[in-house]
Chains A and B, each alone.
Chain A
Amino acid sequence: MAYSFPEEVLEYVFAFLSSDKDRNAVSLVCKSWYEIERWCRRRIFIGNCYAVSPQIVIRRFPKVRAVKIKGKPHFADFNLVPEGWGAYLYPWISAMARSYPWLEEIKLKRMVVTDESLELISKSFKNFKVLVLSSCEGFTTDGLASIAANCRNLRELDLRESEVEDLSGHWLSHFPDNFTSLVSLNMSCLGSEVSFSALERLVSRCPNLKTLRLNRAVPVEKLPSLLRRAPQLVEFGTGAYSAEIQTDIFSNLVEAFSGCKHLKSLSGFWDVVPAYLPAMYNVCSRITSLNLSYATVQSPDLVELISQCPNLKCLWVLDYIEDAGLKALSSYCKDLQELRVFPSDPYGAEPNVSLTEQGLVTVSAGCPKLQSVLYFCRQMSNAALIAIARNRPNFIRFRLCIIEPQAPDYLTLEPLDTGFGAIVENCKELRRLSLSGLLTDRVFEYIGTHAKKLEMLSIAFAGDSDLGLHHVLSGCESLRKLEIRDCPFGHKALLANAAKLETMRSLWMSSCSVSYGACKLLGQKMPRLNVEVIDERGSPNSRPETCPVEKLYVYRTVAGPRVDKPDFVWTMDEDAALRLS
């Protein structure tokens, strides 16, 4: 006897499911649940824009209000993906403009966004509210002007870390005088000066503004005026935090900051002059997030500031903080959850600061809630890694970059296998791991054995043979993203674990030893994968089959080989041999 709740009831219940995993599970129960669910799904996350096509998405989910799409592979951040590889937004926008007139949110990461796309967005979605462009490129400030001028209900405009061709600061002045809905504005990546009076007026008339991240061009003496107009701010990013010290600027700053009783997050601080840092001391006790990664100040000044922030949860800082500063951090900031230490002199051969493995050991010992770390340093030891692992079994993200490739344990000159082994063995909830230093196949054996919750693994200049890769592919049950560069891995592990690749989002291998012939074989064997050979030396057919390819990007897809490939990308598949002539 077929019975069920009325559709409306099911739809009502499903509305409480926000996680994609839950909704996907629900849609597998039976055909009617699949149908009901697909009509009421409002938010979609597409982790790889080439895994699916806009048409397929729209066909299945006709009433979407919010999309989040990711494009290029992560290693594009470090210039490993050649310009023109892909990840174009326009096809998505043009399809969605027709089918999702009520679209409200677009969040993108590593996509190529053109002014044309931005203009189309601004004109197609009447209720458009949120635009987040994270690490995107391809657009100019003219595109921003379209958004400002036409999106009457815009709440968020966040350009974090995007590369924008900055034609002028005039775009900001395109927000109409009756536009008051802004909640969040992040323009920190822009170079040009915007009209300050336009900015002041915008801030004044948007009472719900909670996040304001300025760009470097806004000088410190102008900050008080903005802060006074937005005392409700929760997140604030300064511009260049330097000027000739004048007492009246300083006291204005102090007063303005004091008026912001809700500030939790601070960033910016380009060109910071230490004497201006104390202006913020009044708000420090409430600060939970501090991004000082552009602040080129010395450890004592950093410690002065940090010591005022007992509620700090997230700190991004340059290695000027040094071991001594990290020791202070570990004693003042017991709530710390995330730490990122960036290198001030990544290309210098000699250390310019006194930051070693000891700093990380100290923080891992002193901060019981620390769960996410990104740490650049110049020396590491197995002993330190073992200590860190024992101190902090609750790590979920551990990204260590020892600046010298293949640097061994500096005390014993051994590989760092046992150190990283301790990390994966102790940190059972580890979801993301980046390796560095001298590593043999052994570390991959440890990872395959223990890192059962690992979802993303980054490997560089490591391993001895295919056995290493095999350990990872066969052992890491939760693996979704694997990125490898400059490792002696060939095709054996890949081909032996080809099926694994369909359970993952993507695999990147560059400067390894995977032959063209192997890539073809993989493409033929696995029709639901796109096996992309990226090679700027010209067609791989012009070289022997045994010749390794420069770069390989493999990802699962239901959309087939993509049609927007540049001339240095080839998709391996059944017809590969025929097409590539």
Chain B
Amino acid sequence: MAHENELNLKATELRLGLPGTDESEDMVSIAKNNKRASPESVEDSGSKANSAAKSGDHETSSASKAQIVGWPPVRSYRKNNLQSKKAESESGMYVKVSMDGAPYLRKVDLKVYNGYPELLMALENMFKLSIGEYSEREGYEGSEYAPAYEDKDGDLMLVGDVPWDMFMSSCKRLRIMRGSEAKGLGCAV
């Protein structure tokens, strides 16, 4: 009836799911909202024990299909291996950044940057300061500020000495030090 069309009952219908999704995606929308890959909910107990521990950390890029048991045909141990890796890779690598004299700290995701220049530029923008050029001999000699980081052993290190990958895996937090204090953090160690 034309009358019903004008009322647009469908638009006001109470459903679980994002607006604009239709009936067949309802069940799936729940999964999408929760942003969880839940292969463990449709599979046998065989893989549950392994998957359950990881269910809290899951993020799917865009799970828009209800998952079918045993499809795609990938064995449990392979899936588990990838899921834990995915959780790691998608959760970002956030480290705290403190700046001497600033009232509060910030956080940056190291994964977002491809190398030192990008990271330093981002820090410069974030804190409205200038860090200057890195040189192996002089560190950040002459700059107002110098970036340093705390590594896994708890030591305070100058940013830029080691390859980017190594830095990413060992950096626990960043600290932007005043240039005057940074003297002495040069590479001569």
Chain A contact residues, CB within 8 Å of chain B:
75, 77-80, 82-83, 137, 161, 163, 189, 244-245, 270-271, 273-275, 293-294, 296, 342-350, 352, 376, 401, 403-405, 460, 485-486
Asked whether any CB of chain A lies closer than 8 Å to the CB of B67, the reply is: yes
Are the CB atoms of B44 and A83 closer together than 8 Å?
yes
Are the CB atoms of A161 and B63 closer together than 8 Å?
no
29 contacts between A and B (CB under 8 A): A78-B70, A79-B43, A79-B70, A82-B44, A83-B46, A161-B75, A163-B46, A189-B77, A244-B169, A244-B170, A245-B162, A274-B165, A275-B166, A294-B81, A296-B82, A296-B85, A343-B72, A343-B74, A345-B61, A345-B86, A346-B74, A347-B37, A348-B60, A348-B63, A349-B61, A349-B62, A401-B72, A403-B72, A405-B68
**Bound CA span A262–B131, Å:** 52
Report the minimum CB–CB distance from B89 to chain A (whole Å). 7
Report the minimum CB–CB distance from A455 to chain B (whole Å). 19
Binary interface encoding of chain B residues 45-88 relative to chain A, with 1 for a CB under 8 A from any of its CBs, else 0: 11100000000000011111101111111111111011001100
Are the CB atoms of A75 and B63 closer together than 8 Å?
no
Which chain B positions have C-beta within 8 A of A403?
Answer: 72
4 nearest CB pairs, A to B: A78-B70, A348-B61, A79-B44, A349-B64
**Bound CA span A498–B90, Å:** 52
Are the CB atoms of A350 and B61 closer together than 8 Å?
yes
Chain B contact residues, CB within 8 Å of chain A:
37, 39, 43-47, 60-65, 67-79, 81-82, 85-86, 89, 152, 162-163, 165-166, 169-170
**Bound CA span A486–B67, Å:** 14
| Given A77-B73, A401-B73, A460-B71, A347:B63 Cβ within 8 A | yes
What residue of chain B has the Cβ atom nearest to residue A76's Cβ? B46
The prevalent SS among residues of A at the interface is: loop
Are the CB atoms of B65 and A376 closer together than 8 Å?
no
Report the minimum CB–CB distance from A234 to chain B (whole Å). 25
**Bound CA span A359–B112, Å:** 29
Are the CB atoms of A79 and B37 closer together than 8 Å?
no
| Given A189-B77, A401-B72, A273:B165 Cβ within 8 A | yes
**Bound CA span A344–B83, Å:** 9
Are the CB atoms of A161 and B77 closer together than 8 Å?
yes
**Bound CA span A509–B156, Å:** 63
**Bound CA span A273–B85, Å:** 12
**Bound CA span A296–B89, Å:** 10
Are the CB atoms of A245 and B46 closer together than 8 Å?
no
Which chain A positions have C-beta within 8 A of B82?
Answer: 296, 344-346
Report the minimum CB–CB distance from A108 to chain B (whole Å). 17
Which chain B positions have C-beta within 8 A of A401?
Answer: 72-73
